[in-house]
Amino acid sequence: MSSEQPLSTRIAASNPRNQEQSPLFSSLHPELRNLVFRHALTEYDDPERPYSKHEYYFRPGMESASKIDTNLLLTCRLIYLETHLAPIALNEHVFWMFRGPPGRFVSNHERYFDRMTHEQRAAVRRVRFVTQLFWLESQKHRDVVWPTGLLVPKLAITIRHSDWWYWEDSQPLHIEEPRYGWAGWVGSVPGLQELELELETIDAQREQLEEQVRIALGWTFPLDGTHVSLVHDGEEPVDSMWLGTSRMDPENFNNGWGSGDEEDSDDDDEEESDDEEGGDDDDLEGSGEDSGLGRKSSVYNTTRLPAKKSPRR
């Protein structure tokens, strides 16, 4: 990382104009102006880059590539000073530990945060790891290196249906007890105040997921350098259900879909299904019916478990 002064410091030292001629600064209250800036700099789905629903990374909230309109920061120096940390603070920093979207496959979080300035690292609010279990369970405290000055108040860990051990063989769902390894990795995250664990599986293994959730409610994550731990906050886990491709259903996966020609996946559907542009799948999602699922749809169950600070026990 360069030792050169951050651009914001150099701009502030240049005495930028107060922009009194602009209604944005002269007429609009700062609180309202900040709402405008927040809206403009919040990440949103790019309709020109949709993901195929047959991909590993397609799921609710991740139906397409995302976009942040950072051109706002180029309009004037005063706007830059007010907004230069907003894209970092407002948006979630997502790391894909295998099977991530094309062009957004960020897996080296150390390098990612190391490229930030000290000021930018302190502005981070939310980080998510979408990870296979073999990566998560291999994380040990001794391997952790977090860049100086980084703060991560909220950490989310997402385990997709295809991230469980031997999911393609319909093996029972199981996560290694965190205290045997990866709890130390979680506890080493600087500034951590809240942990969200998101677990997902297909409907056929819903009861197994519920059992894993029951076990996870008793997990404890001691925080480095403190006398507190993250424990379940007592709130009911949040359950949701969504309809997606059955390509990752073990039966279909082992019958050829899992062999993997991603570019041909949509072509394979043309003769058998008309739901690519909102047909059968949309009807099923609107009806809430689990029965009658076509070959191209599968029910996915997701549970989010929150954990917050508590005196260490």
- Provide DSSP, the chain: ---SPPHHHHHHHT-----TTSHHHHTS-HHHHHHHHHHHTS-EEEEEEEPPTTSTT-BTTBSEEEE--GGGGGS-HHHHHHHTTHHHHHS-EEEEESSPPTT-----HHHHHHTS-HHHHHH--EEEEEE-HHHHTT--GGG----TT---SEEEEEE-GGGSTTGGGTPPP----GGGTHHHHHHTSTT--EEEEEEEEEGGGHHHHHHHHHHHTT-EEEPTTSSEEEEE-SSPPEEEEEEE-STTSHHHHTTTGGG--GGGTTGGGTTT---TTSSHHHHHHHHT--TT--TT-EEEEEEEEEEEEEE--
Which positions ≥6 away from 133 have C-beta within 8 Å? 159, 163, 164, 165, 175, 176
Domain that holds residue 53: 7-311
Domain count, the chain: 1
> How confident is residue 293, by pLDDT bands cut at 50, 70 and 90?
very low
Q: Residue 201: what pLDDT?
A: 92
d(C-alpha 58, C-alpha 183), whole Å: 28
Q: HSE of 14 in the Cβ direction (CA atoms, 13 Å)?
A: 13
The pTM score is 0.81
Choice between 290 and 189, residue whose per-residue pLDDT is larger: 189
Average pLDDT over residues 48-72: 91
Domain assignment of residue 1, yes or no: no
Asked if the model's pLDDT at residue 287 lies above 60, the reply is no
Asked if the model's pLDDT at residue 83 lies above 50, the reply is yes
Q: Residue 257: what pLDDT?
A: 54
d(C-alpha 313, C-alpha 302), whole Å: 29
Domain assignment of residue 200, yes or no: yes
Least confidently predicted of 9-23, 146-160, 286-300:
286-300
Average pLDDT over residues 82-91: 94
> How confident is residue 292, by pLDDT bands cut at 50, 70 and 90?
very low
Average pLDDT over residues 73-89: 90
Average pLDDT over residues 63-67: 91
> How confident is residue 225, by pLDDT bands cut at 50, 70 and 90?
confident
The alpha carbon of 141 is separated from its chain's Cα centroid by a whole number of angstroms, namely 22
> How confident is residue 43, by pLDDT bands cut at 50, 70 and 90?
very high
Enumerate the β-bridge partners of residue 298.
Answer: 244
Average pLDDT over residues 4-17: 76
Least confidently predicted of 75-79, 92-96, 185-189:
75-79
Q: Residue 143: what pLDDT?
A: 64
By DSSP bridging, strand 154-159 and strand 298-311 are unpaired
Least confidently predicted of 135-139, 261-265, 301-305:
261-265
Arithmetic mean of pLDDT over the chain: 80
> How confident is residue 105, by pLDDT bands cut at 50, 70 and 90?
low
Q: What are 116-135's pLDDT values in tens digits? A: 999 999 999 999 999 999 99
Average pLDDT over residues 86-113: 88
CB atoms under 10 Å from CB of 55, counted, come to 19
Average pLDDT over residues 58-77: 89
Question: Of all residues in the chain, what percent carry a pLDDT higher than 90?
Answer: 46
Q: Residue 210: what pLDDT?
A: 93
Q: Classify the C-alpha dihedral 120-121-124-130 as positive or negative.
A: positive
d(C-alpha 309, C-alpha 92), whole Å: 21
Domain assignment of residue 2, yes or no: no
Choice between 121 and 244, residue whose per-residue pLDDT is larger: 121
Asked if the model's pLDDT at residue 60 lies above 70, the reply is yes
Choice between 163 and 281, residue whose per-residue pLDDT is larger: 163
Q: Residue 12: what pLDDT?
A: 72
